[in-house]
Amino acid sequence: MQLTPPLQIAIAGSGLLGRLLAWQLSLLGHKVVVYDKRPPERDTSAAYTAAGMLAPISEAASSLNSNVLMAGIESIQQWSLWCQSLNLTNALHHGGSLVLAHPQDSAELEQFNHDCRALRDNESLNIKSLNRNAIAELEPHLSKSFEKGLWINPEAHLDNRQLLNRLDAILATQQVTFNFNTDVNVGPGEISETQSDKIYRYDWVIDCRGAGARSQLGQLRGVRGETLHLHTREISLRRPIRLMHPRYQLYVVPKPEHRFVVGATQLESEDVSPISLQSSLELASAVYTIAPAFSEARVLEAGVNLRPAFRDNLPQVTTEPGLVIANGLYRHGYLLAPLVVEQTISIVAGNNNYACEKLSAPPLTNRQAVYEI
Amino acid sequence: MSHIKTLAKDSLTLYGQSFQSRFLLGTALYDSPQQMLDSVSASGAEILTLGLRRQNPENGDGERFWQMIRSTGCTLLPNTAGCKSAKEAINLALMSREIFNTNWIKLEVIGDDYNLQPDPFQLLEAAQELIAQDFCVLPYCTDDLILCQRLREAGCQVLMPWGAPIGTGRGLLNRYALKSIRERFDCPLIIDAGLGSPSQACDAMELGFDAVLLNTAVAKARDPILMASSFKGAINAGRDAYRAGLMQQRQTASPSTPTIGQPFWHQHTNT
């Protein structure tokens, strides 16, 4: 197989992975075509619904996976480089995250602190305990009822919609072809339209349809997540706030133009119907207790989407000649995308021996593809 | 001593079905389904509880997740977690009977949002209705003796009093009440909720409870699989201790080494 550019590459799925891969592969001189069943005017990707947090320590502490931690810390550096080359000067914020619990739930905060410290001896982790005054100094608009908090670094957050818009604009200039409203099946070196049975041949097909690939990937499931998008000028936050609670963890992430994303529920269901009242109550009451001035915020959107996940909730990149399947980023889309993009490009570049060790998954070579036809 | 008890088969019978394991495990709160499946396997549990209230059960949207739980081959015990009235719980029980093809239901009607304390009045009402509709009801209740009596009268063949509120990990908060319940009822009694450590589960079994149901203490451990195995050992130890018959605690020391050779006037007592 010809391994030097230009290769003819088809990408199924125009979510975060699809767009990042289209960008990187077209920069390398390959000819890229993207297929997506969604209409061009409505972004239904999980990447669009997501809050765009890069929180390797907090995420690793809640899943106690130190591989996620290490991959995630590298990922923040990669996002810095990507934002520079996309000329996004103000889309990546490095202020860390603030983890809080109400006084009656302080055991949750202690558990979280304990879990963070149990992750790994790592000099780059900076977890600082804060008292009431230190919290107020860091985030003056928060409720004064918080007595203890944790400031966690290095963690960051991305203005993800700004990023997605910029990627779309760049892809348009790089002659990447988008076929929207086109539902496809993938196979080695080929894409077939489900509606017309038309088959198109490519040097490589990359399947990154997220939860949209469930019909072909038997092991993949969707995990429902719900978010609220709020607008208020009364509050400004500098960093994501995570609220620990005995039964759920909720966060609020500041976005440009006085917007905030509050998320996210996590339900083992593939239901994509609108947000439930119960979930709205949980999200709304959590954000209200973080800062009562949120009470007059306007609810702009209530997002619902499916996180694509395999059984272990970790990403998989599997390959066979002519086909790469990259999926299962679960709740770590932005956090782990750099790693998955790197692996995928490495395969397309002919480096099939690339070992996927960073997430403790078995090596890519000799690994059975997970798709079912 | 004979070894009759040691050799006799010590199985748990619930609604006519026999089980070797006395550990009922919940399937929520794990980091991944794989971790849940591995924990189930390590626990030796033969009965798994699962909630479906928030998964849009009418449309079967949790099917892929449920399928993984079914794949364990364990007896499924759907619960009505999240329901706050008898009516909601009854509706959900009817739905779960269809989805999981079982008339077993862990009946849970929550009266207080914060500590998830059962609402005894709604619980009893729901139990009466569901038993009338041929359900095998396993009610999650408080340690109130009269509530337990009423649930028995309603036809519950198993009672599941709490050790402490769900997720608190505080162990057996009211030993007096729990002991009274054990003494007064000869039906299977399962301590459901509030256990945080294997020693607490062992404690419950030593008191004579027939089984233990828990979720958080395993799912939220740093190593849930190891913790599941640890609970399994503790539950077996507690059960064996109960069957073996615990010695009575005494006020005075009683040396296990014979004191022959020691003059009797040196053997003091405090009484």
Q: What is the pLDDT of residues B145-201, one digit of tens each?
A: 999 999 999 999 999 999 998 878 899 999 999 999 999 999 999 999 899 999 999
Query: Comparing C-alpha atoms, which of B98, B105, B91 is closest to residue B49?
Result: B105
**B118-140, pLDDT tens digit by residue?**
999 999 999 999 999 999 999 99
* Residues 6 or more apart in contact with residue B253 via CB below 8 angstroms: none
Mutate which of B56, B99, B166, B218 to disrupt the A interface (most A C-beta within 10 Å)?
Answer: B56
Residue A244 burial (CB count, 10 A): 23
Query: Comparing C-alpha atoms, which of B214, B228, B231, B157 is closest to residue B189?
Result: B157
Give SS3 for A232: coil
Dist. CA B149–CA B163, nearest whole Å: 18
Chain A residue with minimal CA distance to B165?
A: A246
Burial status of residue A105 (CB atoms within 10 A of its CB: 0-12, 13-18, 19 or more): middle
**A315-361, pLDDT tens digit by residue?**
999 999 999 999 999 999 999 999 999 999 999 988 655 444 444 44
Query: Comparing C-alpha atoms, which of A165, A155, A166, A159 is closest to residue A256?
Result: A159
Residue numbers of A between 108 and 137 with CB closer than 8 Å to B: 111, 115, 118
| pLDDT score for A67 | 74
- Phi, psi dihedrals of residue A266, rounded to the nearest 5°: -145, 105
The reply to whether residue B35 touches residue A312, judged by beta carbons under 8 angstroms, is yes
Partners of A206 in the beta sheet? A11, A324
**What average pLDDT does this structure show over B42-59?**
88
Global pTM reads 0.84
* Residues 6 or more apart in contact with residue A284 via CB below 8 angstroms: A228, A262
Dist. CA A71–CA A56, nearest whole Å: 8
| pLDDT score for A205 | 97
Dist. CA B190–CA B24, nearest whole Å: 9
Residue A244 in tokens:
């620990």
**A355-366, pLDDT tens digit by residue?**
444 444 433 333
Helices B63-70 & B33-43 angle (0-180, nearest 10) = 20
**What average pLDDT does this structure show over B85-96?**
94
Residue A77 burial (CB count, 10 A): 11
Mean pLDDT by 10 residues, chain A (373 residues): 78 97 95 95 91 91 74 91 94 95 89 79 81 95 92 95 95 93 95 92 96 92 95 96 85 96 92 93 92 95 94 92 94 94 92 48 35 29
Write down the architecture of domain B22-244 according to CATH.
Answer: Alpha-Beta Barrel (3.20)
Mean pLDDT of chain B: 90
The answer to whether residues A189 and A205 touch, using CB atoms and an 8 Å cutoff, is yes
Band of residue B259 on the pLDDT scale cut at 50, 70, 90: low
B193 is in an annotated binding site: yes
Q: State the complex-level ipTM.
A: 0.79
* Triad A159, A160, A161: Cα angle to 5°: 100
